Structure 1
């Protein structure tokens, strides 16, 4: 391994960014197949070597005699979860089992330790027909051998758009009698100023309100300025967001959902977080919001929505959200696991 080195990708290093994206994509597609959803180089270029104030991402390449064969990613939040770091490692299939992934992971561990981050979060992915716990899959074997433990299993689900308007209307009408005390609003673009504080009051709790299994989690920051900076970063990446919320009688957000459409990967869209605040559950708000958001998305995109895969992830134990997604027509496509390790 004398010809192997790990280097950090710098801001503006277009060749390094493209290499990082290519290694990661090849690794994911080998392990997961067509359902894989790697970052594009165009999205990466916006965040490499920069920070939006909410988190800092660093990207590393493992070079064998100057050729990229491995990639690593490290993310550290700056306003919350200050003892934690999120990381990911990928190795080209033809170069596995030579210790390159371990060398990259060691570098990420070193960087996390330098920042006093002792809670390390990672993820492994594999095909849906594989074992629910990932036993024997390459990513799980790699992580478990290095001290990570299985936190919670997730299932990736996909829905090919568009959903028929008849189906959406039927679901909306069935849910409507249950949420008469709430107002549903949907829009494309940033969260309006008059809603952002109550949006964040719900949005920031998703890490702990969603099932966590054996993983430790803390809420995200509800800092408005940092959230606005994050929205601006996503806009520069070419990611457009559609939001739907439920408002109570006081006009406060009590539930939300968000779909993100990337400009640089026209075949997919992402169903991001959906959450109903405690005290407002049991009113079919989850399905009402997802339907309203899909209607707005399909209306705004028109023919451009046709054939896109809408991709989402649910903890395998999250029955209520899985039920909603299955009502909409989502089907399982891959599996993953949240993994965690305590350093020191």
Structure 2
């Protein structure tokens, strides 16, 4: 008999069993190309007392054995109609109804919370076609009413990039009339409000496909709370901005390094609309890359995720030497009217 129960993230053995199932499922899909949040990064996120996101995690057991894991994220300030979900079943337990039961469970929880749009991310190998033909997880999602709202690429860059390559690309993006600032750690207070505002609209300024979402508020206190979580997770942030003549942020970029897996992850990059066309995106990414290589020479790779329709940013990444390592789909399902919580 299958039992699905919520977990207490402060109960170490239960949490560890949940994480083991999650990691095994991800690695079963992609092998060495799987990007997996570490055990301690995941634990810190689940334990965080957040004012922006209510998180829950569930574990599935059959005859006492852990056979699957699921997660649910309910946004509390913006996109309150959306629930972010994850369903992970290790390969040896698939095709026995566990995934379907976990999915039904988290959807029911989302309905009770008044959510009407479900969102989930899935990955499949880069060797499979862009439409996901042959990807078992996409076939599973479609059987349960989910569609691809946005197709993404997971790209990987081997480090270090030669200084001559960086210098050559920098010469193509002189950023005349702009001032470049880089730092390690939390965003300096003088940049915080404009940085948070740009970061908040990243999801809606970048290609969104058919995603049903709205921009975040850009609240600076919430942003600082996110930075504190990064610190608890052992992550280090590298940030770079381009400032216009009046000292306002025209472009920003961020790389976050995980102390657990040693990888770097490209987070947001955005150029303000009024300042596009000056190759500022390339400039800030190059400056940030140079800072990363200088201060974290042990970091051996960077991962980035971009919409497959974002031709401009993909072209920038190609110039830097990124290569596709997997495909990703941002899935969506509308449940219709749900009861209010």
Q: Same fold (TM over 0.5)?
A: yes
Q: Structure 1 residue 218 and structure 2 residue 214: aligned? A: yes
- For residues 309 and 197 of structure 2, the distance between their equivalents in structure 1, rounded to whole angstroms, comes to 25
User: 8 Å contact 1:69–1:91 — kept in the other structure?
Assistant: yes
What whole-Å deviation, never above 9, does each CA across 1:260-316 have from its counterpart, x for those lacking one? 1011112x21011111111111100011011100111111113x22xx221011111
CA distance in 1, matches of 2:45, 2:305: 23
The answer on 1:129 being equivalent to 2:127 is: yes
- 1:266-305 equivalences under 5 Å are 266=262, 268-302=263-297, 304-305=298-299
Q: CA RMSD in A?
A: 1.2
Give the CA deviation at 1:50: 3.3
Cα distance in 2 between the residues matched to 1:261 and 1:233: 14
Greater CA drift, 27-36 or 47-56: 47-56
Instruction: Report what 1:338 is aligned to.
Output: 330
2:302 to 305, 310, 314: 310
CA contact (8 A) 2:186 2:237 kept: yes
After TM superposition, the structure 1 = structure 2 runs for residues 18-33 of structure 1, keeping only pairs within 5 Å, are: 18-33=16-31
Gaps of 5+ in 1: none
Aligned to 1:9: 7
SS at match of 1:79: coil
- Contact 1:239–1:260 (CA<8 Å) still a contact in 2? yes
Partners of 1:210 and 1:51 in 2: CA distance: 29
Matched, 1:106 2:104: yes
Contact 1:50 / 1:56 at 8 angstroms: preserved in 2?
A: no
| Other structure's SS at 1:34 match | helix
Q: Is residue 128–residue 134 contact of structure 2 (8 Å, CA) maintained in 1? A: no
Contact 1:9 1:48 in 2 (8 A): no
What is the aligned residue count?
Answer: 336
Q: How far apart are the structure 2 equivalents of 1:269 and 1:16?
A: 29
**Structure 1 contact 28–36 (Cα < 8 Å) conserved:** yes
The alignment partner of 2:274 has SS state of: coil
Cα displacement (A) at 1:227 = 0.8
Contact 2:147 2:333 in 1 (8 A): yes
| Alignment match of 1:197 (pick from 181, 193, 200) | 193
Q: TM-score when scaled to structure 1?
A: 0.95
1:42-89 CA-to-partner distances (Å, cap 9, x unmatched) read 112212243322212211111112211111111122211111111111
